[in-house]
Chain A
Amino acid sequence: MDRQVSHFREELEALQGRLLEMGGLAEERVRTAVEALVARDPALMNAVLAGDEPINQLHIEVDNRCFRLLALHQPMATDLRAVVAVVKINTDLERVGDLAVNIVEAAQRYVQHPPVKQLIDIPRMGEIAQAMLRDALDAFVKRDTALAHLVLGEDDRLDKLKTEVFRELLAYMLRDQSTVEPALDLILISRHLERIGDHATNIAEDVIFMVSALDVRHPSAGTGTG
């Protein structure tokens, strides 16, 4: 039994390592996407567009590893919750990678026009979203539910900033019709960043579930396993 258990632990640790690698890539892509927008840098944009493949490959690899662990080891209790959490976090991270591509696609359209305004809130949103991702993954590694709860709190800030960006850009669009197209792209980008925050929130919720078996996703729908 001992050998079998340590074999399982090794596999689980390797799985978590791959997931964190994926998290690092996703975070990096968000950072580069926002940087490319601010700098209006086509080379950086192309780098994001061309760089989706490693995340996609990890997405499949992590899923396969989870599938294998479930089939061959039939984990229970905390181990079962860990593997289930990884399956879910994996999907969130892959979506974050896709959203970085969406940001760059909007940015490519945006830079065809003169700047609508100086970008302040969107880079701020980018920083918050990245920090949320980083903290959620840190919480995962450290099994730290307090940190995971902090991530949940950050999501409100991101939502507020998105609303502010929308209001501000609406004012620009009403004043000057020529800003409609680029302003809409900025609104889309803020929406993508807000979605990245939602994925970080999902990850934080999965960490809480993994550590304490509590389901905090929909408070009105009951709590937790059993």
Chain B
Amino acid sequence: MSSAARPPLASLGHLAARRSDTPEAPEGTPKIDVESMSFYYGDKRALHDISVRIRPNVVTAFIGPSGCGKSTFLRSLNRMNDIIQGTRVEGRIRIDNVDIYKPGLDVVQLRRRVGMVFQKSNPFPKSIFENIAYGLRINGMAGSSSELAGRVEESLKQAALWDEVKDRLHESALAMSGGQQQRLCIARALAVRPDILLMDEPASALDPIATQRIEELIYDLKKTYTIVIVTHNMQQAARVSDHTAFFWLGRLVEFDRTEKIFTAPAEKLTEDYVTGRFG
């Protein structure tokens, strides 16, 4: 829209220094505590001074236009950005009070605890069973073959996939539907018993029915896991999340209860975004 002029960056100044901890309950410590975090791709600063506290056993959604930094932020929570050359993090990210960027931290162990599901489902070209068993084996969590089978079943049940695949566990995962493949990837992430599940657009390639199943699954999983989801679909953020963070141009503009963000946001920028006044 022509009236959707973007405010000058200077007008965002008030956002930088504020600690966005509105949705936090007075009791309990945050699961993920991010303090003054900035992120750089080479010289380019992609995230500016982000502070946010993510509570355990809730679903937190990150929304914002493409390029706003929400995926970069998500990937910094299990150091997936480390694999990109020339990236750098400032500030602090603590999970269960441990600085995940401290020297000597075991990144493999971190990624086991902080699982990730991507936009495009990416099952291995192996059987359904092997897709789950693989992660358990390389993490030394396989145990006996009956133990392994038990863990595979448990993961598939948690991902609401067991009933659909229990009779064809040894068939290729690539023969499954898109929605099933995505739930298999969720099962694979859950198999190594993480605490936190990061989901980057987990349903954007799925039809509405498969999307609904994923959303129902997210709702069930939050009882056990802390879930952070990036989504372009605002209705999806509204449906599945408890808290929502709105990112814009690498800044965290507003973080609050989802109901508040979508009915009465405090910041004009958030209001303009959720009402589609700029795109």
Which residues of chain A have a CB within 8 Å of any CB of chain B?
1-2, 4-6, 8, 74-81, 213, 224-226
Contacts and interface: CB of A to CB of B under 8 A. Distances in A.
Contact of B276 (A5, A81, A225): A5
A78 B259 CA distance: 13
A74 B279 contact: no
A77 B265 contact: yes
A6, A74, A78, A213, most chain B CB atoms within 10 A: A78
B274 interface: yes
B277 A224 contact: no
B256 interface: yes
A226 B1 contact: no
Contact of B263 (A4, A74, A81): A81
19 contacts: A2-B1, A2-B279, A4-B276, A5-B1, A5-B275, A76-B238, A76-B263, A76-B274, A77-B264, A78-B275, A80-B262, A80-B263, A81-B264, A213-B263, A225-B259, A225-B260, A225-B264, A226-B257, A226-B263
Given A77-B265, A225-B264, 4 more contacts: A6-B1, A77-B262, A81-B264, A225-B263
B1 A77 contact: no
Nearest to B271: A77
Classify chain B: how many residues form its interface, as a range. 20 to 34
B235 A226 contact: no
B256 A226 contact: yes
A5 B271 CA distance: 14
B234 interface: yes
A79 B235 CA distance: 14
Nearest to B258: A226
A74 B233 CA distance: 12
Contacts of B260: 225-226
Contacts of B4: 2
Interface in B234-279: 234-235, 238, 256-257, 259-260, 262-265, 270-271, 274-277, 279
Nearest to B65: A1
A207 to B, nearest CB: 15
Nearest to B4: A2
B192 to A, nearest CB: 37
Contacts of A81: 263-264
Nearest to B272: A77
A4 B235 CA distance: 16
Nearest to B22: A226
